[in-house]
Structure 1
Amino acid sequence: MWKRYAFLAYNKGMNKKIEKLFLWVLCITTCARLLFAAIVPITGDEAYFITWAKHLDYGYYEHPPMIGWIMWLFSFFGSDIFVYRLFPVLCVPVIAIILVRLLADIDRNNAFLCGVIFLLSPVSMLNVLSVNDVPLIFFSFLSGVFFYRGLKTDKIIDAILSGFFWGCAFLSKYFAVLLAVSVLIFSVIKRNRKIWKITGIAVLSSIPLILLNLAWNYNHCWTNLTFNLFFRNKDIALKFSSFFVFLIEQVFLMTPYLAFVFLRKRFFLKECKTGGIELFWFLFLVPFSFFLCLSFLKNIGLHWMASFYPFFFMIIVFLQFSILDRAARYNFYLSIGIVIIIIALVSIPPGVFRNTEKYSQIIMFSEPQRVADEINRNLDGRIPAATGYTETSIFSYYCKRDFIMIGSLSRSGRYYDFITDFKNFDGKNFLIVSLNKKDAEKLSNYFKKIDVKEVDIMGASFFMISGEHFIYNQYRDIYLSRILKMYYTVPGFLPRGRNFFVERYFPELVYSK
């Protein structure tokens, strides 16, 4: 396919064939990603966000609520993980079409090649999991596009939509703040009245969504803020290894050839200045610079920067056609490699990892229905529970019943604190599923009697811990009091609203005030 179309656009009369190439790539990559959505096992985060969707709210622990809302909407079309993954699968072609449409006014041939390069990039090919990075990417892109349109058309509606979509990005993940900082820096440097006008309107239109999140945080111990600013950054320390890992990640996301061109062309600043899309340069380079500096202090996730990469694939529109053609070729081969690797990984028999320490986790993800069937056979009317948020979420999804999280001190997955009231389980019997036999000893203080049954599933050990007669008061005094101090004590510099955890378990603290 590639040899048939690749060099044809050197002739200006070959626009249609470049467009045809784009459509072919759009269809093929979408089909490949639909395949990934069908064969890749569900992740713990996806199962956790499905739990969010079951309990529709205007806020959740850890992150803003957008992914929970989106998964709630998709739940009307089915409960299979494939249905939930249709959102990320569809977002990529929508972004590609908008990208091409916007850039076509600058250079039509290059615009379609930029679309091809984007579709074949790791940012797109790997975007199949239904996690909160997906709405962040999608709404950040739309916000940037409408801000650009506002500058071109001077229409208020474009500025309003830019602000609205930025608000949606903010309600997806707080990395959206970097987009706002990018626009602010762009506005300050350009010192243009029209830019400040568009910026002001965008800010005003985003305020209702910001206030919604602030209201939720005020009434829920500021858990979004404390989780993202404090709990996740306790390991901050100067380390050069994370810096080099970050550079490798960016070379992978840009693709090696375009990373080389990016450096050789001095970050494309000259091209973007003369081409009128300097805004997109700022929307990419400011977050890039921030994460580059942060990488000296902590590990940067591969997906953290991915939200801003659609802007990178827009600013390359001013490169020579021969460079874009070569980049598209390399991305074509890279995408084939990605397809082969993913299919190979999911095809590996789980038994290959039998002697590894994480074998039970591998079985939990690769054969979740077998594990769920075994749990249901042992349940016998008891309260289903697990000792970690990943296990709780996965078992809830595959057992088709609500599990509760018990005994976990992890900073992650604490939304189960919001939807679980342990007072209701006083005196009840539990079946606690664990991957670690030592959990039985940790939980023994909270039950009158503990029995452990080891279940073998494909050579992996799962422990069915039967807890007879749950002792709520003991659980409250030992465990819940510790959780209160660790996660639900509001920092002194923040205003205090309601504290659901105190009201539910420690009402005497409310009355004492």
Structure 2
Amino acid sequence: MLAKLPKTLLYLLGGLLLANLLQSAFTPLIFDEAYYWYYAQEMAWGYFDHPPMVALLIKLSSFFFDGELGVRFMSCILSVGTFLVLWQLIDNPKKKDYVPQFFVLVFSMTLLNAYGFFTLPDTPLIFFTAMFLWVYKKFILEPTWPISIALGVVMAALMYSKYHAILVIVFVLLSNLKLLRNKYAWLAVAVSLVCYLPHLLWLYQHDFISVKYHLYERPNRAYDFNDFTVAFFVNLVAIFGLTFPWIYKSLFKTKVNDKFTRALIFLTYGIILFFFVSSFNRRVQTQWIIAISIPLAIISFNYMLQNKEARKWIYRMGLVNIAIILYLRLGLIYKPLIPFYYETHGNKELAQEIKSKIGDMPVVFENSYRDAPMYAFYTGSTTYSLNNIVYRKNQYSIDDSESKVQHKKVLYVSGYLTNEDLSFTRSDGAVYKGKYIDDFESFRKLKCVIEEEHIVLDPNTEHVLKVYNPYPTDIELKKIKFGLAYLNPYKQVQDILPLKPETTDQNALYLKARDTTVFTFKLPVPKTKNPNYFKVGISENGLYLGLNGDNIKLD
């Protein structure tokens, strides 16, 4: 395939690869990358927030390089691969005369550019969306057993990248409902399900914790027209930058004359419509709509080949986009170039400063799945994110990281401290406060279970609370205290009140190891008016209440 590519394209892709490799090597990690690097330290078929593809990319990268490039190498490879697949998806024979225009169009797309070196779940999502369309195009031309199997494997790879991938598959299916009567299509579905079975099994074993979090447990806030819906349209502009008028014009002007073009149109409009509707419920993040970059790259370049005016302006504005993007990319490395803080700035230096004060001592960060892995990456020290009742669960809630800091002297870093032993200031002005704990002990895996799905808010009614202790040792009841948080309709904590449940066994002194202890309790009178949910948490050894119970609906 490479032998048939224009030399100009090969030179440009070689330059792209080199630029992304250099950028990867010299740009400090962003927080999400550090979190996904943490994923990759213990490979699994699933993680709290995402499927495992991003962890696999990082693990593969680490076989080739150390440091930041050991996190990002495969992203650089996939970026070039995405360009190659997009090129193959253009059938117009005139394309060889406009190689620079093609490169400028794709390279000027802001998030496609950024994910050329950042390693995030959207990185493989972009590549496998392109691959899916490439294989699907072959499938609709001549479905065969091998192509069906390939289509199924790619669909599974899409779903292993990010759960949003289901939108890509569904909207392409909706563009061609005759696939429902196609035996080759059903073979592809069967293959994809077989390939995806390990992750489905992982979800089952973990009580579908990822699905529950994304669909039900994720905090939200009241609808804000500007910050939700208007921001959604701003995102539609932001992913293309200054070329957006001509890119969307190409979408409006494109006529459906074959099944593949129909798939591109359905995919683009489908994702836009889905997240437009979603914007009335929550704030849509820019990267959630990134998949439209792939079909629109194909649609736009085909339009450019037919329309001289569009070709001229996309090329001109694309070059301006690229100039701005390259300047900002340099600013990710060298802070004085940009007049604002970005998360690549200062984290490495801060981690090394803290380590110079405390040595190899483990660090427990309260409520920070971002800081814990960042510190671990740049120091090699043991870290743990202790999540409390006003925060959210994350990978640290379900793995064995808690066990690695038990009964050790740690630096405990928290925003709730009033008397600290150490303090440090981050580049964005945030202050770290830490205190030493000589014998750290936490029980964040204690599970509070209330079997009633709906409870009437009545302080006089008694309810049953079951506490499961998954640890191999008994836990003294005197070490723990219970509390209850009331939440608003958006699952934001409003009140935190003490709770004094009573055991059915009045002589109980312990939560027995790998056993369930039954308590009864009454709801405390809330301070907030008409709360919508509540959840129970446990405080151990004077620490802040943990995330031990699920949200329970109040009637």
TM range (shorter): 0.7 to 0.9
Following superposition, the deviation at residue 309 of structure 1 comes to 1.3
Q: Distance in 2 between matches of 1:507 and 1:453?
A: 37
State yes or no: 1:311 paired with 2:299: no
State yes or no: 1:249 paired with 2:235: yes
Following superposition, the deviation at residue 321 of structure 1 comes to 4.3
Q: Identity over aligned residues, as a percent? A: 19
State yes or no: 1:297 paired with 2:281: yes
Richer in helix (by share): 1
Q: Matched residue of 1:234: which SS? A: coil
Aligned positions of 1:429-508 closer than 5 A: 429-434=409-414, 436=415, 438-439=416-417, 452-455=421-424, 461-470=431-440, 472=441, 475-476=442-443, 481=446, 484-485=447-448, 503-504=470-471
Aligned positions of 1:162-311 closer than 5 A: 162-188=151-177, 191=178, 196-232=182-218, 234-235=220-221, 237=223, 239-260=225-246, 262-263=248-249, 267-270=252-255, 272-273=256-257, 276-311=260-295
Q: Distance in 1 between matches of 2:193 and 2:64?
A: 32
Deviations 1:232-265 (A, max 9, x none): 35336363542222212212323444534534x5
Following superposition, the deviation at residue 201 of structure 1 comes to 2.1
TM-score after normalising by structure 2: 0.73
State yes or no: 1:93 paired with 2:80: yes
Deviations 1:193-238 (A, max 9, x none): 78x3443222111102332222111111211101211233533636
Deviations 1:160-196 (A, max 9, x none): 11221111111111001101211221122xx3678x3
Q: Matched residue of 1:26: which SS? A: helix
Partner residue, 1:125: 113
Following superposition, the deviation at residue 462 of structure 1 comes to 3.7
1:267 maps to amino acid? F
Q: Distance in 1 between matches of 2:360 and 2:73?
A: 35
Q: Distance in 1 between matches of 2:151 and 2:211?
A: 24
Q: Measured at CA, do residues 489 and 317 of structure 1 come closer, stay the same or move farther in structure 2, by a change above 3 Å?
A: farther
Q: Distance in 2 between matches of 1:510 and 1:304?
A: 42
TM-score after normalising by structure 1: 0.78
Following superposition, the deviation at residue 311 of structure 1 comes to 1.4
Q: Matched residue of 1:273: which SS? A: coil
Q: Matched residue of 1:405: which SS? A: strand
Work out whether residues 331 and 337 of structure 2, in 8 Å CA contact, stay in contact via their aligned partners in 1.
no
Following superposition, the deviation at residue 439 of structure 1 comes to 3.1
Richer in strand (by share): 2
Q: Measured at CA, do residues 393 and 26 of structure 1 come closer, stay the same or move farther in structure 2, by a change above 3 Å?
A: same
Work out whether residues 283 and 311 of structure 1, in 8 Å CA contact, stay in contact via their aligned partners in 2.
yes
Following superposition, the deviation at residue 115 of structure 1 comes to 4.7
Q: Distance in 1 between matches of 2:469 and 2:186?
A: 40
Work out whether residues 143 and 161 of structure 1, in 8 Å CA contact, stay in contact via their aligned partners in 2.
no
* More divergent stretch after superposition (69-78 vs 234-243): 234-243
Following superposition, the deviation at residue 158 of structure 1 comes to 1.6
2:284 maps to amino acid? I
Work out whether residues 372 and 385 of structure 2, in 8 Å CA contact, stay in contact via their aligned partners in 1.
yes
Following superposition, the deviation at residue 88 of structure 1 comes to 1.9
Work out whether residues 160 and 202 of structure 1, in 8 Å CA contact, stay in contact via their aligned partners in 2.
yes
Work out whether residues 145 and 162 of structure 1, in 8 Å CA contact, stay in contact via their aligned partners in 2.
no
**CA RMSD across the alignment:** 3.6
Q: How many residues align?
A: 458
Q: Measured at CA, do residues 250 and 385 of structure 1 come closer, stay the same or move farther in structure 2, by a change above 3 Å?
A: same
Following superposition, the deviation at residue 58 of structure 1 comes to 1.5
> Unpaired runs of 5+ in structure 1?
1-15, 354-358, 442-450, 494-500
Q: Measured at CA, do residues 380 and 242 of structure 1 come closer, stay the same or move farther in structure 2, by a change above 3 Å?
A: closer
Q: Measured at CA, do residues 111 and 199 of structure 1 come closer, stay the same or move farther in structure 2, by a change above 3 Å?
A: farther
Partner residue, 1:371: 350
Q: Measured at CA, do residues 171 and 351 of structure 1 come closer, stay the same or move farther in structure 2, by a change above 3 Å?
A: closer
Q: Distance in 2 between matches of 1:489 and 1:256?
A: 53
1:331 maps to amino acid? G
Partner residue, 2:487: none
Following superposition, the deviation at residue 294 of structure 1 comes to 1.4
Q: Distance in 2 between matches of 1:168 and 1:214?
A: 13
Following superposition, the deviation at residue 419 of structure 1 comes to 3.0
Q: Measured at CA, do residues 37 and 160 of structure 1 come closer, stay the same or move farther in structure 2, by a change above 3 Å?
A: same
1:94 maps to amino acid? G
Q: Measured at CA, do residues 427 and 26 of structure 1 come closer, stay the same or move farther in structure 2, by a change above 3 Å?
A: closer
Q: Distance in 2 between matches of 1:295 and 1:262?
A: 20
1:75 maps to amino acid? S
Q: Matched residue of 1:303: which SS? A: helix
